[in-house]
A and B are shown apart, each in its own frame.
Chain A
Amino acid sequence: MAEVHTQPAEQSSAPQSSSEEILSIQQRRWRKFRSLKRGYYSLLVLLAAYIVSFFLPLLVNNRALVVHFNGKTYFPAVRDLLDLPIVGQLGGTPFIAGEELGQMGNKSECNYRALKRQYEQEGKGNYVIMPPYPFGPIEDISVEGNEPFMPPLSRTAFGELRLFGTDDRGRDVFARMAYGFQISFSFALLVATLSYLIGVPLGALMGYFGRWFDLLMQRFMEIWGSLPFLFLIIIVVSIVRPSFFVLVLLLVIFSWLGIAQQMRAQFYREKTRDYTAAAISIGVPTWRILLRHILPNSLVPIITFFPFAVVGDIGSLVSLDFLGFGLAPPTPSWGEMVSIGMDNLTNGYWWLVLVPLGALFVTLMLVVFIGEAVREAFDPKTFSRLR
């Protein structure tokens, strides 16, 4: 759906001379969008941040990028690349035990920061290259050197910087915030896209065919819409602890309604237009009328709504996580971070609340700015005040 405005329209018209340039509607929208600086730069920033976030395991991780030990080279962090939710959860990442790399007596996962110090002391030519920010989102107080409630910009006993401090279990707040962005944004994009994939065709069919199908679906949607959805999600979540994708589906089940309603109204309106009647009378097949003729004319309201759907879905996830009914721990999530902060409110650990919520605010603002610009580009309204 969202491609419509990014679709370059080269095929429709070759670039013309500058003054009388003939632009397709998509080109005009894209130009308008680019001229709206706030939205355009928000898009660039967000896009860049999201792309970078796929490489988080190489940037923010407690596993080393490269370990060279006794002539053998290991790449522990690389495996984590496949562990991000949208890429696919391949189960627990098999770890390399500390003993294997020369950490004596450590049968559990290797502590790479300690390993680095160890190799440097030994000076045997073994080396460890850590990611730029050498803390992971999940490692907690059980790892040597991690302490709970370290304030922002403090340093560990070994001199490593904790940008945003640590939480109640000694987990790094910056790392959790960064991974939380990846997860929240992937989650919202997935939920929004899937609910469009369900809502658009259903709404279109309801609007176009009408009759009993419409009537039945309308009653169904009315019932579905009057259900207290957060309530139901919590009931379901308290029975089965959902994985990332189950939670996505749970939200999709409730969020396609609004989109279907919108589409239904659009198709209902477009159906009565002359061009549809013309298409029917010259015998254009129904699927073609739906896809090629009516659909492009009905997409504007729901395309402009897409960013706001993403905003809503991020908000839902954070709220659910905050209540403890979202993603299973220890998944790094903003909502869960805030709830830890709220539990420790009186102790003055302000960063536990402000850091994740700051990240939330910035992300949502960027998306809303994009949404505003998209709306402006698709549906420009010029007001003339007569005085």
Chain B
Amino acid sequence: MVEYFIRRLLLTIPTFLGSTFVVFLIVQLAPGGPLEQQIQALKRGGETAGAGLVGEQALPKDAIEELKRFYGFDKPIWQRYLIWLGVWKREAKSYRIKPGVPRLVGDNERLILVKEGESFVLRNAADPSRPIGDWKWRQERDEETGEVRYRVYREAYSGILTGDFGRSYRFRKPVIELIAERLPVSIQFGIISFVLSYAISVYLGVQKALRHNTPFDFATSSAVFMTYSIPGWAIGAVLLVLFATDRFFPIFPLGGFEDPLYTDFSLLEKIWDRAWHFVLPTIAYTAGSFALLTMLMKNSLIETLSQDYIRTAFAKGIREERVIWLHAMRNSIIPITANIGYVIGIFFAGSYLIERVFDIQGIGQLSFEALVARDYPIVFAFTVISVVVTLIGSILSDLALALVDPRIRFK
């Protein structure tokens, strides 16, 4: 068993590499890739700084080269991928330097390029005897003018494996920070809707199984099928029109996560306000997931109830509730635990469709807007997260299954 799960974990590594590489490839090869985006951003920035007089001014060649070097576009794509992963050295800092002229590189450190025989040597400008760290230098030639230039640089491993997801183009902030800001909203919805959908589906599933083929069963089946087939955001949109706009029953707020005056509220008001804003989105979130679980629960319980050991239990004269909740449920609950591993998904549960409908600034909105604006560091971060969540989720599900059902043995 343990071996099996270790093997599963190890197998996720090639899958992770494979799928991130595919996404990387698509994004890099697509027109309007990260480099073009950044150049565009710089151009726009230049325009506004230059009071729009310059118009569509070409970026200095130097700057473009700088960017290319930063994104590693002078390297083949597999190398770029490794750099992005963080297992290949990236040119972390680099500065132009003139021989004999000291150059400030970061924390009060000055370097100087000294001629020594035929070649140059890099020295600390203040005190030539002090070490210069891992700074290196190289010579380069301008392709047009043929002028020889020098450059000092430092390399470092920095990529997603070292926890460096890069900086957002638009927000000019580390991606990790941005995600951390938005996470609480999505986690709250994730947890509430997770608990709700399991609670509802277990209860409803049991009731439907016990009253199989009764009007109650048919009526709830229709509701269950409806929520199964209709996307959660569509249900949300209908609820919003019916229960939030002035036209029908304006009971709930039109959207958002909290009242604009939220910070001025007392604690009780805060809780009330939050709950008020939560009702409709939570229904939308829950509706999507409880239908399948309910049917699973019902079918599984019905099957268990027709087994011999249940008959024996009834024959012994045990009360019905006890038979159902103690004897039958133990076996019936197994199928619905098969999905429980995806519980880790609730931390990133932000569906951007639902968040867009309700105008919630959660994680889904962040990723969607990043996608639209081609803010690639964020897009990549979300790809990595979603791939990891899917992979780990399926392993956790197997683990949960093995825990609740001792008959299941994975090999």
Contacts and interface: CB of A to CB of B under 8 A. Distances in A.
Q: Do A and B come from one complex?
A: yes
Interface stretch (B14-22, B64-72, B131-139, B335-343): B14-22
A364 B229 contact: yes
Contacts of A353: 237-238, 240-241
Given A319-B231, A342-B237, A364-B230, A350 B387 contact: no
A383 interface: yes
A311 B229 contact: yes
Contacts of B22: 223, 227
A236 B22 CA distance: 13
Contact of A235 (B19, B222, B238, B371): B371
Nearest to B308: A386
Contacts of A226: 15-16, 19, 387, 390-391
Contacts of B237: 338, 341-342, 353, 357
A365 interface: yes
Interface stretch (A71-79, A133-141, A159-167, A367-375): A367-375
Interface stretch (B111-119, B242-250, B258-266, B397-405): B242-250
Given A235-B30, A338-B237, A357-B234, A369 B302 contact: no
10 contacts: A232-B23, A234-B371, A342-B356, A350-B247, A354-B241, A360-B230, A364-B230, A365-B229, A368-B225, A385-B212
Contact of B15 (A223, A228, A239, A386): A223
Interface residues of A, number: 44
A112 to B, nearest CB: 34
Given A239-B30, A386-B306, A350 B248 contact: yes
Contacts of A224: 19
Interface string B287-311: 0000000000000001101100011
A386 B316 CA distance: 13
Contacts of A367: 229
Contacts of A305: none
A236 B30 CA distance: 8
A322 B372 CA distance: 14
B374 to A, nearest CB: 8
A273 B292 CA distance: 32
A315 B306 contact: no
A372 B295 CA distance: 12
Interface of B: 14-16, 18-19, 22-23, 26-27, 30-32, 212, 221-222, 225-226, 228-231, 233-234, 237-238, 240-241, 245-248, 254, 302-303, 305-306, 310-311, 314, 320, 352-353, 356-357, 367-368, 371-372, 374, 379, 382-383, 386-387, 390-391
B379 A231 contact: yes
B350 to A, nearest CB: 13
B310 A232 contact: no
Contacts of B240: 342, 345, 353
Interface of B is mostly: helix
A378 to B, nearest CB: 15
Nearest to B32: A239
A346 B234 contact: no
Contacts of A235: 26-27, 30, 371, 379
A219 B18 contact: yes
B247 A322 contact: no
Contacts of A239: 30-32
Contact of A383 (B23, B230, B302, B352): B302
A227 B387 contact: yes
Contacts of B16: 226
A360 B226 CA distance: 11
Nearest to A385: B305
A345 B229 contact: no
A361 B247 CA distance: 21
Contacts of B248: 350
Contacts of A225: 390
Contacts of B27: 235
A384 interface: yes
